[in-house]
Structure 1
């Protein structure tokens, strides 16, 4: 077990833990929570050996194997599959020993090395790695792509897969969901539920914590407080503790009064009934989240919009996507992501936008936000539409060299030039004061944005949006860098907002709290999703299962497909020849599998070192040959699948 007894932990002059005590038992799955800066990541550094305690006693069983997600951006031309396989440190060490043993020509050492390699799982390493990669949202066609060919967020997914690949007794996960869409997050939850080791997780996603943890450790006032149960149970128990604390109670009562006022004002109006109902949901949650709101770095509200056009906007036979890249050959067309969209967005709607990774959620939001132009069709905007847009990557709308004050001054000039009504005062002192309400005070107003943390950048974007007094909020993953307390503050502000909300998020608690209806972006279109988030999670799991089964059956279904009708411009594909090659490979692989089974049995039974060494060498060769045949089989199957697609 892991024990901390009277542990003192400092970072520079700041004391993060002072006489802290906690015990974590083998197999427990622990959520580590606390305010930003409380010391969560520093405690991880103690657990992984990067830091040492400044006082007290700290113990982790020395024989425990550790797995954690590397925070650096990988730079390598290795294939995605090979990069993830190397996360299996046992397998990597065994392979290195085999290479060293083969160089010595020592039969006994080679025998032991081959046995260790076999025991480390060399036979199914590729399959295990690729299952992790596909589970985290990659396509089958990307398995062999170089790591450097992926964007930063996808590379971090590979770092996560690499950590999951590592056999471990202790797993440390620091914000593992930050770069995931909801479909990959649901898969990760299912995987972590099956994990048998001890696990500590830092996350600001309450539903993720609820799904995978059974213990919560809260860092508060330099102490470690252990609570039995997941995050929601911790929240309930802590709310009881704080019930009598006057500051928390007063803040709670102010919020309740504000929400109650909205409910009373609009509950009798049919056009506002849905909005009033969402505020009722928020009111129901107020009692338990009062402690969190008291902890928030700041709380805020969206000002009442100057007007509410209805409809806000209408999309007519609209096609969304991206124009050809600069320098593309003449005649290159745009990349179409979503097409034939006919939807209206009404005043007061609160729409959650769902869809698996890569289906076009962000493309839809960017187009509505005017960051992209529709490829076909049109978007008609209501008179007086005023959009507040939170981009998925804050730097899409922030200038790294500018300060928060310069951003606000620039925003004032843009707003004035566009003839829009300013949201707040426009003098420099007014802007400084407004920034102060979002915790940008003193020297921070003149700090370059590029040097700020993700949470600070997110705060600045929210500040700029609130100042504009929008009537339509477009929020694309607004919570990625927000802690739990600030997420709750955002949820409350959105529930009090009287305009329209369109929200893309993998934070299910935020979606549940804010949204009254859902749109599904899938298979190139946008349709209403008839169900709640639980239905959507079941849909995602079923869809993932369907895709895995379809991939397994790809060869069989392709072989049974009718001969393609070849048009003049299409290349002729000899499906009969391809099928003959596939059949031949199947026969060869069956024979190799029999030989492999025999060699593995021989390794298990043999006593003579020379015999073991020879069997190990042959097994290595058979595994390599089978891998090559599998790649050839996949390539031929894809050709057959293409032929079937052309025929249809």
Structure 2
């Protein structure tokens, strides 16, 4: 188990924890929650020895292996798969021992190293690493690319895969969903549900915490408090606690008022002086309860939309993409025909790289169409929040200055009142934003959009950088927005609370998805292998009306394209199957020879001890290699057969 005993941590001048104690049992999945800056990441750092407590202790078994996600990724030229395999340090250690023994010609040590390699599941390691990469959104081809070829977000995925590759009894994840799309988050949830060790997670994704965690540790007032259950259950218990504390506070205030009244009335009377002094002492000794503001949740609202055109936008055979520096066009969605109707609330679904952000940028006018045309309704006013919206803010300006640029004629008090609704109160409205957190900057960017009273709201990952409280405030605000909404987000709580229609972007197409987010999760998990290697499979059943209306010639082209796609999927698997079958033939032949050799009694004579040991060692190696090759063959064969399903 893990025990924190009388833990105190101070960082600089800031007190994070003071004399707090807690126990976590083996195998529990723990969600760490609390206000930004409360010490969640510091607690994780403490557990993997990046920092030390100022006082108190942390105890867990010495033989526990700890896995955590690195924050930096060296620009290796080694492949993504090899980088992920580096996460299993024991595997790499045994590989080094084998190489060293071979270099020294030490057959006995080499045999022992091969046994250790098999015990570490070394023969299946590449397949396991590949599975992690596929689950996190990489293709088979990308797994062979050098680490240096990936962008920052994808390198963080590599770091996550490396942490998951590490055999561990304790896994520490700090905001693991930040660089993932919804598809990868669903896969990660499924993977973590099978993890048998102890898990600590810091996350602002409410549904992710609900799905994965069975214990919540809440950080407040420099203390850790344990709650059984997931995040939603914690919220219910927490609300009851706050209500009870508020009730206790009110009762104490009534008692204090009564005592003070008695003291005021009778402190000058000789007959009551002793009693008055007694009550003064009682007041001094009383441990004051702090008030609980049950209505302290951050709340902000969109302005009402007075009028809006219908349709809002019409896309007619629009080619979505962008121009490269070379002048060449990069087409993402070749032919989009879409009518955005008034009052629709639409979520865009699909894996990273399929074109969700490209489409929303095209709708917002930030990317001109490469072909086709877009018609805007009269009176359309777009509010657009991009993934990198906070980068458009001026770091040397205050929230008030940002808003004054949008509304130069508005009274300062009106602007201050508006900013106060976004928690930029008092002097904070006048502070330059350079020192603001990412969440505070995102909150300001949202405020600036809301001020402009859009009737079409386009949001691309608006919850990035936001804490749980601000996310909840955003959900409440958007749910009351009476305009039209199109949103891209990996936050399912936000999507459930604000949208009622889904468009699936996959295979260079935009089409309706008939179902809810639970249907989407089930669909993803069922088709994950095919989706990760060849893109999302078409939803033939739900989209039958489309194929029934197209002419026979078009259907033939589609069928031909599908046959070509299946052939392209089968080809690398067929090559792999043939390669594995050849390897099995050779290994079986060698095993037969070794079996015959070991059956020869003369091999066991004292003079042939070295030959016997070499034969036994090779026999063990061949058996392991044969078993692993057969296992790989079965896995690839199953994948091959599923392509026809």
Q: Distance in 2 between matches of 1:385 and 1:579?
A: 51
Q: State the 1:311 CA deviation.
A: 2.1
C-alpha RMSD over aligned residues:
4.0
1:590 to 584, 588, 594: 584
Partner in structure 2 of residue 50 of structure 1: 50
Partner in structure 2 of residue 534 of structure 1: 518
Q: Distance in 2 between matches of 1:115 and 1:579?
A: 30
Q: Distance in 2 between matches of 1:79 and 1:513?
A: 41
The TM-score normalised by the length of structure 1 is: 0.75
Secondary structure of 1:362's counterpart equals helix
Contact 1:315–1:379 (CA under 8 A) maintained in structure 2? yes
Contact 2:181–2:351 (CA under 8 A) maintained in structure 1? yes
Change in Cα spacing, 1:98 to 1:318, as seen in structure 2 (3 Å) is same
Q: State the 1:89 CA deviation.
A: 1.4
Q: 1:431-458 CA distances to partner (integer Å, 9 max, x unpaired)? A: 5665555345647855464x64322331
Change in Cα spacing, 1:91 to 1:245, as seen in structure 2 (3 Å) is same
Q: State the 1:321 CA deviation.
A: 1.6
Is residue 509 of structure 2 the alignment partner of residue 510 of structure 1? no
Q: State the 1:208 CA deviation.
A: 0.9
Partner in structure 2 of residue 36 of structure 1: 36
Q: State the 1:310 CA deviation.
A: 2.3
Q: Distance in 2 between matches of 1:595 and 1:165?
A: 34
Deviates more, 1:157-166 or 1:65-74: 65-74
Deviates more, 1:60-69 or 1:6-15: 6-15
Q: 1:607-637 CA distances to partner (integer Å, 9 max, x unpaired)? A: 9787666776899899999999xx9xxxxxx
Q: State the 1:579 CA deviation.
A: 12
| Structure 2 unaligned blocks of 5 or more | 251-291, 536-570, 633-645
Contact 1:85–1:165 (CA under 8 A) maintained in structure 2? yes
Contact 1:110–1:613 (CA under 8 A) maintained in structure 2? no
Partner in structure 1 of residue 138 of structure 2: 138
Q: Distance in 2 between matches of 1:102 and 1:292?
A: 70
Aligned pairs for 1:614-629 (under 5 A) are none
Partner in structure 2 of residue 326 of structure 1: 325
Secondary structure of 1:110's counterpart equals helix
| Structure 1 unaligned blocks of 5 or more | 251-290, 413-421, 552-576, 632-648
Secondary structure of 2:387's counterpart equals coil
Partner in structure 2 of residue 569 of structure 1: none
Change in Cα spacing, 1:578 to 1:360, as seen in structure 2 (3 Å) is closer
Partner in structure 1 of residue 75 of structure 2: 75
Q: Distance in 1 between matches of 2:234 and 2:574?
A: 62
Q: State the 1:2 CA deviation.
A: 0.2
Secondary structure of 1:537's counterpart equals helix
Partner in structure 1 of residue 353 of structure 2: 358
Partner in structure 2 of residue 566 of structure 1: none
Change in Cα spacing, 1:385 to 1:172, as seen in structure 2 (3 Å) is same
Partner in structure 2 of residue 555 of structure 1: none
Secondary structure of 1:474's counterpart equals strand
Q: Distance in 2 between matches of 1:6 and 1:339?
A: 61
Secondary structure of 1:480's counterpart equals coil
Contact 2:333–2:355 (CA under 8 A) maintained in structure 1? yes
Change in Cα spacing, 1:610 to 1:103, as seen in structure 2 (3 Å) is farther
Q: State the 1:377 CA deviation.
A: 1.7
Q: Distance in 1 between matches of 2:3 and 2:132?
A: 32
Q: For the pair shown, which has the larger CA radius of gyration, 1 or 2?
A: 2
The TM-score normalised by the length of structure 2 is: 0.76
Deviates more, 1:216-225 or 1:71-80: 71-80
Contact 1:81–1:130 (CA under 8 A) maintained in structure 2? yes
Q: State the 1:587 CA deviation.
A: 4.9
Partner in structure 2 of residue 644 of structure 1: none
Q: State the 1:26 CA deviation.
A: 0.7
